[in-house]
Amino acid sequence: MKRLLSCEFNFDTVCVELKFSDGTMIAIDTIAVENEVADNMYQRSELDYLICNDPIAYADLILNGNLEAYLKAVTEYKMLD
């Protein structure tokens, strides 16, 4: 893989798509990731926020980082009164 040209969330396929200068493409199935990693609605909400607002950070977490550790660090659980 060469230089990253684009990283976008595709609403039609529900995938984060990365396109590289050498013609390769990676499509991350966001539903499969959520089903595998997110245990509750708060974690799913965090992932949805990243997918829509910062797909590059989302892709970086999936490909290079520890997604479970990220979710544990940023997810806030609020009890309903």
Which residues are bridge partners to 9 per DSSP? 16
33/45 Cα distance (integer angstroms) = 13
Q: Which residue has the tokens 């050498």?
A: 22
Written as one string, the DSSP assignment of 42-78 is HHHHHHHHHHHH-HHHHHHHHHTS-HHHHHHHH----
Asked if the model's pLDDT at residue 79 lies above 90, the reply is no
First-to-last alpha carbon distance for the chain, in angstroms, is 50
Average pLDDT over residues 40-62: 93
**66 band by pLDDT with thresholds 50, 70 and 90:** confident
**DSSP code for 68:** H
Provide the mean pLDDT of the chain: 90
The pTM of this model reads 0.84
Asked if the model's pLDDT at residue 74 lies above 90, the reply is no
